[in-house]
Structure 1
Amino acid sequence: MKAVLIATIGTRDLMFQISSGTWYNIGDDRMQNGEIIGEQAEVISDLRLHNITFRDLTKYLLDKITIYQERIKPVIIGKLLSEKAADIETVYLIATDQKLKVRERQKDTLYAAELIKAWIVNQFTHINVEIITLGQDGTNPSNFEQMFYWWRRTWREKITIQVDQPIWLCLKGGVGQASEASRISGLSFYGDRIQFFEFQQNTPANQAGIPSDYSGSFLGNNYLWDRTQQQALKLLARYDYAGAYDLLQPYFKKSSPSFETIANLLKAGIEWNQGKFDRFISLARSSSVAIPKLQDKLWMAYEQAYLSVVRLEQQNTIEAMLHSHRSVEGILYLWAEKLFPNDVIEKENQYPSLKNSILQKYPTLNRHFIDKQGMVLSEISFNGWVVQDLLNAAIPATINSIDFKAFWDSARKKRNYFSHRLGGLEEKEVFRAWGEDVTKSNGRNEYLIA
């Protein structure tokens, strides 16, 4: 699909060939010691004009376009248009046309844009050219905030872009505030569909009638990389891997090795946030992260506990409570499966089963295997209460452990309550659920454990 090219037009976008054959910039009015020494003076002199503003000079040339058509060229975008014309469908020229009371009106580019339009139409009959002016509504081209809102309206109401159509921005002309507002608003609308071109002035070549060199196109997102990078780092500091992935997704399309690695690591982080630790390890290793071989699943309990710490840092206290309890509960199941492989039967998406063969080792568990009719069961659901009794039987020291007392009592109750009820949970309640006496010191989050 052919591109839409959008160019801001400034006072130095046009060159004119004087009688000697040299091409001069119509708007170059540099001064030294109060005297104009710029190329504009050469143009005015060659045309035998006096004390004329840029606006009036370009209006004069437009009125006599049939005479001067071949002596006028766009100096900035001319080479780009000549070399890329076959790839362009429409050109929008952004020019100023300000109110009479505005001092800068004398440098308005309305007629310069008309001269450029005439050149394009004369050279490339297939290209549609439209001029969009700003200033008559009072918008100040030098005011970034005003220009930002002006551009947002213009993108929506005056610039027509088809789905998936490339968008080329040439922002060399005009004041910096207008160009920056165009860049940022355009990227907010179209993201990585925006492509930019840069231009390098070459005075000797320009005076020989050769328009300026250009470079590009450049991916639009490059202009916002510093800001995007800072946003991504803030998201990563909060372990928001999904948010960082969405933010950086346009850059992943570059298919460079570094961005591919970042994409896979963020995907691994998303899996980690969801507690899918096997997928997390697989994606991390595929990104060349050095992870030692893991002999069993005990490492998952650590990851689950760390996830609860992360949730606490995010002030997501309920999830912190659930994950912290789950980490201990999960490692107890792994412990039982590893220590009693012939007695514990793993079942998908439900509690494991415990066979009554465990009674040969720990007959004190007998009461769990008797149903209401007094029948002996061959296996039972290996729920939390059975796990507690098995742990106490296998490791009696845990019976008097302060940590396990909290796990089986206050932490379990708090976990169960928030698994089935609506409501909130303060940070200090998470610690108290685990048997910690928490107070705040000087308004800071310092946990004083009694």
Structure 2
Amino acid sequence: MNIWIVTTGSSDVQLKSDESWHDWYDRSSVKRNCENLPFKPIQILEDSDEPYRISPRVLGKVYEAQPEEVWQYLEFPLLRQFTTQLQGNKVTKVYLLVTDQTEKFNEEREDRRCPYWQDTCELQPILERYFKEQDEFRDVELIPIYLSPEKNKPGLDDWNHVLGIVRTAFSEEIKLEPDTVYVSHQAGTPAISSAVQFMSLARFGERVKFLVSNEYEKKPLDPIDSSEYLKGIKFEQAKALLSNHDYAGVELLVKDYLDFETQILLDAAIQWNFAKFDDFAKMVLQHPDGNLVEKVNDRTKKENWWWTAYEEGYLAVVRLDQKNTVEAMFHSFRAVEGLIREWAVWKYQPQIRDSNPNQPRTLYFHDENINMSTQLRYWFDRFFNKNHSNVGLFGEPLFELLKASLSPGRWHNNSDIKTVAKITKEERNSIFHQLRGLREPELFAAWDTDHAEDWEKRVLSCLIFISEQDPDFDLSRELPLKEVSLISHVHKELKNAIAPNNFP
């Protein structure tokens, strides 16, 4: 089943001649019903073969008064081309978009420049007769759709408002799911034309074919497949999703248009968004860009046991940008606590293993093959689990292990790590044992900060403290975690690839 959506305007119904116009217009009550305004047909080009145009509402009223006399003078330059072009395409329904701004312009009609006179609703009987006289369209169901702005709302030349009107009209009037949707959108205001294009693509996607015509050469052009229109719209939408780090949403929109290299980056970024940083890195290593691969290889080598914590920290920043404060709290604390766990595995590898079969993912510290300092022995005895002869590496014991392993001066002179161990850890436990939301001020307060910049810098400061790294991390930057994350390089490449002008 195929349908045709037709916009209408002053170019759809024209006059072959103006010789009888004054008699028609002055006859009966037509002129009086048109506020006695001096309407007359005009030629766009002064040429004897050029048809005449007249305000559609006026033409409709003149036709209503003397239909048979007027009919023989009517010309349908666009519709005639399109109906000829669609012969054999088995169109079963024609949706005719006509305008009616009666309510909007109730008091401004004494000016013939008023948009009210350009309304096409009065042309409906003429258009219905035209379709009935075309052999292939005689049995087609003609369904008018009225575009009627309210009195105190913008008119049909307002782009934003018209989009809403057309969206509502499509939703209420077009209930079908046809095989092909032909759309002729050249008539009507630019706002209507744009809205019809957009809503047709949004509703029917690649089933749309646009009918276009060169009116002055009197010939139709080949139908424009919707794929190029749709691709452009999808990439514009994808750009917005990309700016919000919604990589899965980007893939859903533009997967069919991506080259192999871009798909690798997008798949990797999706894994990053799931906090699967090892999988993220492995996927990026498949990319042919040698510089990008070198960055990943350099960051992820075995001695850089700390690298995933920086990705986790930046993921927290992204979640805050997305206004997801609960996950921002989760990932920021997880970055610090998780890095302490990675540090413990790196520093005490012979003593740490998953020794509880009931909790195979929990690591435990065992006092085997080690000469413990006084501080470390005190820590072990304090948190010792008599049933398992070990210490579980989570929560307070994990923080205290870091503290016991460092010189007292290093720990006590760093306000950031002390804040997390004393305040953030407790706030985290309280927040994650409640079924409620989390406001931004509460997130910042849990880290003893007042705003996002200080919160981010505190997270990064803790990561640097734990990893004992001194790379070129510039804490004065506005978004320091972005600068040190691998995803920032991938995101930059994706941003360049997703730009619509890269996909002609």
Report the TM-score range of the alignment, normalised by the length of the smaller protein: 0.5 to 0.7
Measure the CA separation in 1 of the matches of 2:427 and 2:123.
Answer: 70
Corresponding residue number in structure 2 for 1:93: 96
On the 8 A contact 1:62/1:114 being kept in 2, the answer is no
Is 1:166 matched up with 2:180? yes
Measure the CA separation in 1 of the matches of 2:50 and 2:437.
Answer: 72
- Secondary structure (helix, strand or coil) at the match of 2:131 reads helix
Is 1:225 matched up with 2:237? no
Measure the CA separation in 1 of the matches of 2:397 and 2:119.
Answer: 89
- Opposite residue 155 of structure 1, the aligned amino acid is F
Corresponding residue number in structure 1 for 2:335: 327
Measure the CA separation in 1 of the matches of 2:239 and 2:180.
Answer: 30
Corresponding residue number in structure 2 for 1:274: 274
The correspondence of residues 237-252 of structure 1 with structure 2, limited to 5 A, is 237-241=243-247, 244-245=249-250, 249-252=252-255
Q: 2:60 aligns with which of 31, 52, 55?
A: 55
Corresponding residue number in structure 1 for 2:196: 182
Structure 2 alignment gaps of length 5 or more: 18-39, 459-504
On the 8 A contact 1:301/1:331 being kept in 2, the answer is yes
Query: What is the Cα deviation at residue 5 of structure 1?
Result: 1.0
Measure the CA separation in 2 of the matches of 1:62 and 1:353.
Answer: 94
Residues 262, 191 of structure 1: alpha-carbon distance in 2 compared, 3 angstrom cutoff? farther
Corresponding residue number in structure 2 for 1:213: 221
On the 8 A contact 2:97/2:146 being kept in 1, the answer is yes
- Opposite residue 118 of structure 1, the aligned amino acid is K
- Opposite residue 131 of structure 2, the aligned amino acid is K
Q: Deviations over 1:384-438 (max 9, x none)?
A: 444345434543354434243333322222222222235676656656655x6x5
On the 8 A contact 1:271/1:279 being kept in 2, the answer is yes
Residues 106, 193 of structure 1: alpha-carbon distance in 2 compared, 3 angstrom cutoff? closer
Corresponding residue number in structure 2 for 1:418: 431
On the 8 A contact 1:95/1:131 being kept in 2, the answer is no
Residues 319, 137 of structure 1: alpha-carbon distance in 2 compared, 3 angstrom cutoff? closer
Measure the CA separation in 1 of the matches of 2:278 and 2:329.
Answer: 23
Measure the CA separation in 2 of the matches of 1:85 and 1:278.
Answer: 58
On the 8 A contact 1:54/1:106 being kept in 2, the answer is no
Residues 141, 123 of structure 1: alpha-carbon distance in 2 compared, 3 angstrom cutoff? farther
Residues 423, 401 of structure 1: alpha-carbon distance in 2 compared, 3 angstrom cutoff? farther
- Secondary structure (helix, strand or coil) at the match of 1:327 reads helix
Measure the CA separation in 2 of the matches of 1:58 and 1:213.
Answer: 31
Corresponding residue number in structure 2 for 1:75: 77
Q: 1:29 aligns with which of 42, 67, 84?
A: 42
Residues 429, 319 of structure 1: alpha-carbon distance in 2 compared, 3 angstrom cutoff? same
Q: Which moved more, 1:152-161 or 1:165-174?
A: 152-161
- Opposite residue 30 of structure 1, the aligned amino acid is Q
On the 8 A contact 1:11/1:112 being kept in 2, the answer is no
Corresponding residue number in structure 1 for 2:7: 8
- Opposite residue 330 of structure 2, the aligned amino acid is L
- Secondary structure (helix, strand or coil) at the match of 2:432 reads helix
On the 8 A contact 2:149/2:165 being kept in 1, the answer is no
Measure the CA separation in 2 of the matches of 1:309 and 1:136.
Answer: 46
Residues 15, 445 of structure 1: alpha-carbon distance in 2 compared, 3 angstrom cutoff? same
What is the aligned residue count?
A: 402
Measure the CA separation in 1 of the matches of 2:68 and 2:193.
Answer: 29
TM-score (norm 2): 0.62
Residues 285, 423 of structure 1: alpha-carbon distance in 2 compared, 3 angstrom cutoff? same
- Opposite residue 405 of structure 1, the aligned amino acid is K
Is 1:337 matched up with 2:350? no
On the 8 A contact 2:147/2:169 being kept in 1, the answer is no
Corresponding residue number in structure 1 for 2:51: 40
Residues 240, 271 of structure 1: alpha-carbon distance in 2 compared, 3 angstrom cutoff? same
- Opposite residue 276 of structure 2, the aligned amino acid is K
- Secondary structure (helix, strand or coil) at the match of 1:29 reads coil
- Secondary structure (helix, strand or coil) at the match of 1:91 reads strand
Q: 1:404 aligns with which of 408, 414, 417?
A: 417
Residues 349, 192 of structure 1: alpha-carbon distance in 2 compared, 3 angstrom cutoff? farther
- Secondary structure (helix, strand or coil) at the match of 1:4 reads strand
Query: What is the Cα deviation at residue 382 of structure 1?
Result: 2.8
- Secondary structure (helix, strand or coil) at the match of 1:86 reads coil
Measure the CA separation in 1 of the matches of 2:93 and 2:228.
Answer: 19
Measure the CA separation in 2 of the matches of 1:439 and 1:167.
Answer: 55
- Secondary structure (helix, strand or coil) at the match of 1:109 reads helix
On the 8 A contact 1:62/1:115 being kept in 2, the answer is no
Q: 1:155 aligns with which of 170, 184, 190?
A: 170
Query: What is the Cα deviation at residue 169 of structure 1?
Result: 1.4
Query: What is the Cα deviation at residue 156 of structure 1?
Result: 3.9
Query: What is the Cα deviation at residue 170 of structure 1?
Result: 0.7
On the 8 A contact 2:5/2:97 being kept in 1, the answer is yes
